[in-house]
């Protein structure tokens, strides 16, 4: 009889639990009038230690809970942060920042110049193992310190009293102010770092903040946390949101269900969802400053030295059809290497200024002609090569599309697709083990140089070996002789990209974007395609 | 019995050691570095980082260091969560996964036994056919499809349960059902087959002849005997629940360990890969040992080695 009793008991427990649970979940109500925002994140927050942060979630949280010398506003505009005044020496190598009095850390201490000195030294110190320390390159002694040849205290940053910060550079960095808005350059409170030791930045309670919000409810590995308004922030009166609740949903089906039920104000969409919801109220496309482009391995395959061959491949790719019909996630057809919306001068976007339509258009007739000539010059009748890419669905769609575009239009082309895991793709690219590789690059700061530097002859990311001396000298000029002259530097960079495109040094395919559904009541959210993406300081709910 | 147990535990330790060794060397064969920003780091920087983390040492040396640390209870720190101890990552994530797996198992076994028994008692009637159809559907619909359907219709449209997230019991109901339907279907099929056999056997005839109630016969005699093959299934169920829960955890945004594991492999997070692999292995060998012991207890015909001779 024991067994029977157990079953009865089990049945009662199970059934009552189900019914009780059903009663409990009825209490769903959303109050739209309060200034609480519910935002979706697609990955966990991995760290709040700005010296070791590497991913977008960490940078977004840091950008909203910390304050650096500047805050990056709409369209990458530089807005005041801890710095109230900046003086640049005439040679462009010394920056003197006057700091705000009365800016406070959440532990009550004042934010002073020595917090910046401490933070920067900590990040460049090889012992900290920062993966973003390369951004410090150009600041005096940074490279030597990162190579372990010099002590971190020799870095070109100095506190002159509490409210004056002096930074010395080795070479001009024209986008230096923009960099100051990136979390890696934010200050750190020495008391907190030393107090929490190895736990620093691994949970909300092991951190101090000097930005618009404070992080709460993050245990270091959980899927929900909040940003709560920081009352001791220097500009707290202009922060309207009282709270931002984050929840990590890895399935966009789930996050879209949550959005529909009013539990989320914003959710990213999968390509399938984006195709269905395009044009509906709340549909928003967030462009990333990233470009997917082909590199031709001229070191391994001599036939890629032939410009006509490379050009022909570029011209058979119907980029518009690819982004609209195949990807369908809001990504845009590439106009060039530098992503649109990244930087502009006199109201003109860089991507438009440097656009060479002949090299990225869809022109099969011309491509066939070039291909025929190219083969003739090479003295062969056919070419076989493979396209290396990641093994994600999107990457597979890309290589399939490229393969069919090339094989069906260019006679004698035999293309194989090689799809490997991301890290394998990186290793093979670095070691030169590829014919063509579909690479991706995202800019860390809003300056065209972050893309254009990639194709300098001596750049370690120039894996295919394309080389052009005029291009090299233009890029050099942009960061040396013309660094102080905005107009001249701009024209150098535009000219450089035109050379790269006209010589088909690379074949850009598309610029990545993600489609979102965002509650239309949410206003004032600042999104920048490069660096830390989101700035909620001015956001509010109408 | 004691001798048998000792022998089994010795084999378990050996198995775990082999798993650790093989996983370690296979893992080191994966290309790339554990750094998330590898794409933008120069070769020189990667070299400095490798020195910082001791990844420049020969693999066998890294292996010796790892095993030494592991035996001292140090699983290392994660790469994807910088500075976070792997033991913390595992301990903070294992709770929801274990709860979900346990609930799904209980749900599956409990309702599976009921459906299977009812089908067997009403052998070759419409009830039996219905139960069979239900279990075939349960077996053939993948759990993630069921999860998405439950989420859409029960949670979003009817609003009976939360859509996602993890908290009170109500959050666990839909994921439990989604994950438990597979074991439920399997259990129902096993119980039905077993019980149909048992119900046709001589000793049941005898029990009937003695005038025992139908209820008494089923619970006392039939069910107990048809439970035996089920015990064998618990091992494989555990594996299925461990792997199946990764997908379910993703759909219902549950902070479990499954997804952590997949992500650690994709990012070359060596200490986390090792930590989670060892956790899964320990769990599995323990379950297998446990089922073997339970087997001996419920089936008198099976005596554990070393006991019968």
- pLDDT interval class at B81 (50, 70, 90): confident
Classify domain B88-280 by CATH number.
1.10.3720.10
CA distance B309 to chain A (A): 32
Cα–Cα distance measured from residue A267 to residue A518, given in angstroms and rounded to the nearest whole number: 7
CA distance B206 to chain A (A): 19
CA distance B129 to chain A (A): 23
Helix (H, G, I), strand (E, B) or coil at A22: helix
The answer to whether A95 and A166 have CB atoms below 8 angstroms apart is yes
Contact flag B35-A248 (C-beta cutoff 8 Å): no
The answer to whether B238 and B279 have CB atoms below 8 angstroms apart is no
Cα–Cα distance measured from residue B250 to residue A42, given in angstroms and rounded to the nearest whole number: 11
State whether the Cα torsion A505-A506-A507-A513 is positive or negative.
negative
Which of chain B's residues have a Cβ under 8 Å away from the Cβ of A7? 110, 113-114, 219
| Helix (H) or strand (E) segment spanning residue A41 | strand A36-41
Q: Which string of b and e fits A407-436 if b means at least 16 CB within 10 Å?
A: eebbeebebebbbbbbbbbbbbbbeeebbb
Domains and CATH numbers, chain A: 43-248 (3.90.76.10), 287-514 (3.10.105.10)
Which of chain B's residues have a Cβ under 8 Å away from the Cβ of A17? 169
**pLDDT value at residue A29:** 39
**pLDDT value at residue A9:** 52
For the entire predicted model, the pTM comes to 0.86
Tokens read off for A230:
């920081």
User: For residues B167 and A305, which has the higher predicted lDDT (pLDDT)?
Assistant: A305
Tokens read off for A510:
């598309």
The answer to whether B276 and B243 have CB atoms below 8 angstroms apart is no
> What whole-number percentage of chain B has pLDDT above 90?
21
Lowest mean pLDDT among A30-39, A83-92, A272-281, A429-438: A30-39
Task: Mark out the alpha helices in chain B (DSSP H runs).
Answer: 2-29, 43-53, 59-71, 86-121, 126-140, 143-150, 169-199, 202-209, 214-216, 223-226, 228-251, 258-266, 270-298
Contact flag A20-B169 (C-beta cutoff 8 Å): yes
Helix (H, G, I), strand (E, B) or coil at A169: strand
Of B48, B106, B160, the CB nearest to A25: B160
User: For residues B268 and A375, which has the higher predicted lDDT (pLDDT)?
Assistant: A375
CA distance B37 to chain A (A): 6
Across residues B244-254, what is the average pLDDT?
A: 87
Q: CA torsion, points B15, B258, A327, A451, in degrees to nearest 10?
A: -80
The answer to whether A133 and A119 have CB atoms below 8 angstroms apart is no
Across residues A346-356, what is the average pLDDT?
A: 91
Cα–Cα distance measured from residue B3 to residue B286, given in angstroms and rounded to the nearest whole number: 17
Which residue, A246, A289, A186, A210, is CA-closest to A531? A289
Tokens read off for B131:
């139960």
Q: Nearest residue of A to residue B84 by CA position?
A: A202
Q: Express each pLDDT in A72-100 by its tens digit.
A: 998 888 999 999 999 999 988 999 999 99
Contact flag B37-A261 (C-beta cutoff 8 Å): no
Enter the ipTM. Answer: 0.84
For B158-214, give the DSSP string. Answer: S-SS-SS---SHHHHHHHHHHHHHHHHHHHHHHHHHHHHHHHTSHHHHHHHHTT--H
- pLDDT interval class at A24 (50, 70, 90): very low
Is the pLDDT at A14 greater than 80? The verdict is no
Lowest mean pLDDT among A360-364, B82-86, B184-188: B82-86
CA distance B223 to chain A (A): 9
**pLDDT value at residue A50:** 94
Question: What are the CA-CA distances from residue B111 to residues A447, B182, B191 (Å)?
Answer: 62, 11, 11
Of B83, B162, B260, the CB nearest to A25: B162
Q: Express each pLDDT in A404-419 by its tens digit.
A: 999 999 999 999 999 9
Beta bridge partners of A87: A96
**pLDDT value at residue B264:** 86
Domain ranges for chain B: 88-280
The answer to whether B102 and B148 have CB atoms below 8 angstroms apart is no
Of A47, A427, A441, the CB nearest to B31: A427
Contact flag A46-B42 (C-beta cutoff 8 Å): no
User: For residues B230 and A383, which has the higher predicted lDDT (pLDDT)?
Assistant: A383
Lowest mean pLDDT among A5-19, A155-169, A379-393, B125-139: A5-19
Lowest mean pLDDT among A494-503, B94-103, B120-129, B218-227: B218-227
Is the pLDDT at B306 greater than 50? The verdict is no
Which residue, B273, B49, B90, B39, is CA-closest to A55? B39
Contact flag A254-B88 (C-beta cutoff 8 Å): no
Is the pLDDT at A270 greater than 60? The verdict is yes
**pLDDT value at residue B243:** 67
Across residues A427-433, what is the average pLDDT?
A: 88
Cα–Cα distance measured from residue B271 to residue A281, given in angstroms and rounded to the nearest whole number: 45
Q: CA torsion, points B283, B287, B293, B298, in degrees to nearest 10?
A: 150
> How many interface pairs between A and B have CB atoms less than 8 angstroms apart?
174
The answer to whether A350 and A494 have CB atoms below 8 angstroms apart is yes
**pLDDT value at residue B232:** 77
Tokens read off for B11:
């084999």
Is the pLDDT at A531 greater than 50? The verdict is yes
Cα–Cα distance measured from residue B181 to residue A327, given in angstroms and rounded to the nearest whole number: 35
**pLDDT value at residue A20:** 46
Is the pLDDT at A469 greater than 90? The verdict is yes
Which of chain A's residues have a Cβ under 8 Å away from the Cβ of B166? 223
Other CB atoms closer than 10 Å to residue B181's CB: what's the count?
Answer: 25
**φ/ψ of residue A349, rounded to 5:** -70, 145
Ramachandran area for residue B289 (φ above 0: left; ψ -120 to 50: alpha; else beta): alpha
Is the pLDDT at B196 greater than 90? The verdict is no
Contact flag B170-A22 (C-beta cutoff 8 Å): yes
Contact flag B110-A20 (C-beta cutoff 8 Å): no
CA distance A343 to chain B (A): 21
Helix (H, G, I), strand (E, B) or coil at A277: helix
Q: Which string of b and e fits A50-61 if b means at least 16 CB within 10 Å?
A: bbbbbebbbbbb
Which of chain B's residues have a Cβ under 8 Å away from the Cβ of A460? 42-43
Other CB atoms closer than 10 Å to residue B244's CB: what's the count?
Answer: 24
**φ/ψ of residue A268, rounded to 5:** -75, 160
Q: Where are the beta strands (DSSP E) in A314-432?
A: 332-333, 344-345, 348-349, 383-390, 413-420
The answer to whether A155 and A145 have CB atoms below 8 angstroms apart is yes
Tokens read off for A100:
């705000």
Is the pLDDT at B304 greater than 80? The verdict is no
Is the pLDDT at B308 greater than 50? The verdict is no
CA distance A356 to chain B (A): 27
Helix (H, G, I), strand (E, B) or coil at A530: coil
| Helix (H) or strand (E) segment spanning residue A80 | strand A78-80
Cα–Cα distance measured from residue A383 to residue A269, given in angstroms and rounded to the nearest whole number: 40
Of B44, B52, B161, the CB nearest to A21: B161
CA distance A268 to chain B (A): 15
The answer to whether A401 and A393 have CB atoms below 8 angstroms apart is no
Task: State the average pLDDT for chain A.
Answer: 90
Contact flag B224-A3 (C-beta cutoff 8 Å): yes
Across residues B251-275, what is the average pLDDT?
A: 87
Contact flag B82-A44 (C-beta cutoff 8 Å): no
Question: What are the CA-CA distances from residue A425 to residues A26, A428, A455, A515 (Å)?
Answer: 49, 5, 19, 26
Helix (H, G, I), strand (E, B) or coil at B50: helix
Is the pLDDT at B202 greater than 90? The verdict is no
Task: Mark out the alpha helices in A139-213 (DSSP H runs).
Answer: 142-146, 176-179, 190-196
Contact flag A423-B33 (C-beta cutoff 8 Å): yes
The answer to whether A271 and A524 have CB atoms below 8 angstroms apart is no
Cα–Cα distance measured from residue A343 to residue A75, given in angstroms and rounded to the nearest whole number: 8
Q: Nearest residue of A to residue B248 by CA position?
A: A251
Q: Taking the mean position of all CA atoms in its chain, how far away is CA A523?
A: 23
Of B83, B163, B255, the CB nearest to A49: B83
- pLDDT interval class at B122 (50, 70, 90): confident
End-to-end Cα, chain B, rounded Å: 11
Which of chain B's residues have a Cβ under 8 Å away from the Cβ of A221? 81, 84, 88-89, 92-93, 255, 260
Which residues lie closer than 8 Å to A389 by C-beta, 6 or more apart?
Answer: A395, A396, A398, A399, A417, A418, A419, A420, A425, A437, A438
Which of chain B's residues have a Cβ under 8 Å away from the Cβ of A423? 30-33, 38, 266-268
State whether the Cα torsion B26-B29-B34-B37 is positive or negative.
negative
CA distance A249 to chain B (A): 5
Q: Express each pLDDT in A26-84 by its tens digit.
A: 333 344 458 999 999 988 898 999 999 888 899 999 999 999 999 999 888 899 999 99
The answer to whether A304 and A386 have CB atoms below 8 angstroms apart is no
DSSP A109: P
Helix (H, G, I), strand (E, B) or coil at B56: coil
Of A11, A28, A423, the CB nearest to B159: A28
Q: What share of chain A is helix, strand, coil (3-state, %, to 5)?
A: 40, 20, 40
Cα–Cα distance measured from residue B174 to residue B148, given in angstroms and rounded to the nearest whole number: 10
Which of chain A's residues have a Cβ under 8 Å away from the Cβ of B29? none
**φ/ψ of residue A42, rounded to 5:** -95, -5
Cα–Cα distance measured from residue A230 to residue A232, given in angstroms and rounded to the nearest whole number: 6
């Amino acid at each position: 009889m024991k067994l029977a009793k157990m079953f009865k008991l089990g049945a009662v427990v199970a059934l009552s639990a189900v019914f009780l649970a059903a009663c409990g979940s009825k209490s769903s109500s959303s109050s739209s009038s309060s200034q609480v925002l519910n935002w979706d994140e697609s990955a966990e927050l991995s760290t709040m230690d700005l010296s070791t942060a590497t991913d977008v979630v960490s940078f977004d949280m840091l950008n909203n809970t910390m304050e650096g010398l500047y805050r990056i506003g709409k369209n990458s505009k530089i807005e005041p942060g801890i710095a109230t005044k900046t003086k640049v020496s005439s040679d462009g190598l010394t920056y003197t920042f006057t700091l705000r009095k009365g800016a406070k850390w959440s532990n009550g201490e004042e934010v002073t110049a020595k917090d910046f000195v401490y933070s920067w030294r900590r990040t460049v110190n090889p012992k900290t193992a920062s993966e973003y320390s390369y951004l410090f390159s150009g600041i005096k002694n940074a490279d030597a310190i990162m190579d372990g040849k010099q002590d971190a205290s020799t870095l070109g940053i100095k506190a002159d009293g509490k409210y004056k910060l002096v930074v010395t550079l080795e070479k001009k960095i024209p986008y230096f102010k923009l960099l100051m808005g990136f979390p890696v350059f934010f200050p750190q409170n020495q008391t907190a770092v030393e107090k929490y030791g190895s736990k620093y930045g691994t949970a909300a309670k092991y951190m101090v903040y000097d930005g618009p919000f404070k992080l709460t409810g993050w245990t270091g590995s959980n899927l929900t946390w909040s940003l709560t308004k920081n009352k001791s922030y220097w500009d707290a009166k202009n922060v309207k949101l009282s709270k931002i609740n984050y929840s990590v949903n890895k399935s966009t089906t789930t996050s879209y269900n949550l959005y529909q039920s009013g539990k989320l104000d914003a959710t990213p969409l999968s390509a399938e969802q984006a195709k269905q919801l395009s044009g509906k109220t709340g549909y928003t496309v967030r462009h990333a400053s990233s470009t997917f482009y082909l590199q031709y391995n001229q070191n391994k395959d001599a036939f890629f030295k032939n410009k006509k061959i490379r050009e022909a491949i570029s011209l058979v790719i119907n980029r518009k059809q690819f982004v609209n019909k195949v990807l369908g996630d809001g990504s845009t057809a590439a106009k060039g290497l530098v992503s649109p919306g990244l930087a502009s001068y006199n109201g003109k976007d860089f991507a438009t200024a440097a656009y060479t339509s002949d090299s990225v258009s869809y022109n099969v007739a011309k491509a066939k002609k070039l291909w025929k000539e190219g083969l003739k010059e090479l003295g062969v009748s056919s070419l076989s090569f493979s396209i290396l890419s990641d093994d994600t669905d999107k990457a597979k769609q890309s290589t399939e599309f490229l393969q069919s575009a090339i094989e069906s239009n260019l006679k004698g082309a035999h293309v194989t697709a090689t799809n490997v895991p991301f890290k394998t793709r990186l290793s093979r690219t670095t070691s030169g083990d590829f014919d063509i590789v579909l690479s991706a690059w995202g800019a860390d700061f809003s300056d065209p140089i972050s893309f254009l530097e990639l194709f300098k002859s001596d750049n370690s990311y120039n894996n295919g070996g394309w080389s052009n001396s005029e291009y090299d000298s233009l890029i050099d000029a942009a960061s040396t002789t013309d660094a102080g002259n905005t107009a001249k530097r701009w024209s150098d960079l535009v000219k450089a990209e035109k050379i790269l495109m006209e010589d088909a040094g690379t074949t850009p395919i598309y610029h990545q974007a993600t489609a979102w559904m965002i509650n239309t009541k949410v206003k004032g959210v600042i999104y920048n395609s490069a660096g830390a993406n989101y700035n909620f300081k001015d956001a509010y709910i109408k | 019995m004691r001798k048998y147990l000792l022998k089994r535990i010795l084999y378990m330790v050996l198995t775990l050691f082999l798993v650790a060794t093989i996983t370690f060397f296979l893992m080191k064969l994966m290309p790339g570095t554990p750094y998330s920003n590898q794409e933008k780091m120069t070769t020189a920087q990667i070299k400095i980082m490798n020195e910082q983390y001791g990844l420049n040492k020969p693999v066998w040396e890294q292996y010796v260091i790892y095993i030494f640390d592991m035996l001292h209870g140090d699983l290392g720190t994660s790469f994807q969560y910088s500075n976070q101890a792997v033991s913390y990552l595992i301990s903070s994530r294992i709770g929801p996964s274990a709860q979900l797996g346990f609930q799904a198992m209980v749900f599956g076994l409990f309702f599976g036994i009921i459906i299977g028994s009812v089908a067997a008692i009403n052998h070759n009637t419409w009830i039996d056919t219905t139960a069979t159809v239900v279990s075939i559907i349960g077996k053939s619909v993948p759990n993630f499809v069921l999860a998405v359907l439950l989420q859409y219709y029960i949670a979003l449209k009817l609003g009976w349960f939360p859509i996602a997230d993890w908290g009170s019991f109500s959050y666990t109901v839909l994921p439990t059902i989604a994950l438990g339907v597979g074991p439920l279907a399997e259990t129902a099929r096993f119980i039905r087959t077993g019980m149909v056999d048992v119900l046709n056997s001589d000793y049941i005839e005898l029990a009937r002849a003695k005038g025992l109630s139908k209820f008494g016969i089923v619970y006392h005699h039939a069910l107990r005997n048809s439970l035996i093959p089920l015990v064998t299934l618990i091992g494989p169920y555990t594996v299925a629940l461990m792997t199946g829960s990764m997908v379910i955890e993703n759909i219902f945004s549950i902070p479990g360990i499954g997804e952590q594991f997949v992500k650690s492999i994709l990012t070359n997070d060596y200490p986390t890969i090792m930590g989670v692999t060892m956790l899964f292995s320990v769990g599995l060998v323990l379950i297998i040992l446990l089922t073997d012991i339970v087997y001996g207890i419920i089936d008198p015909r099976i005596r554990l080695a070393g006991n019968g001779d």
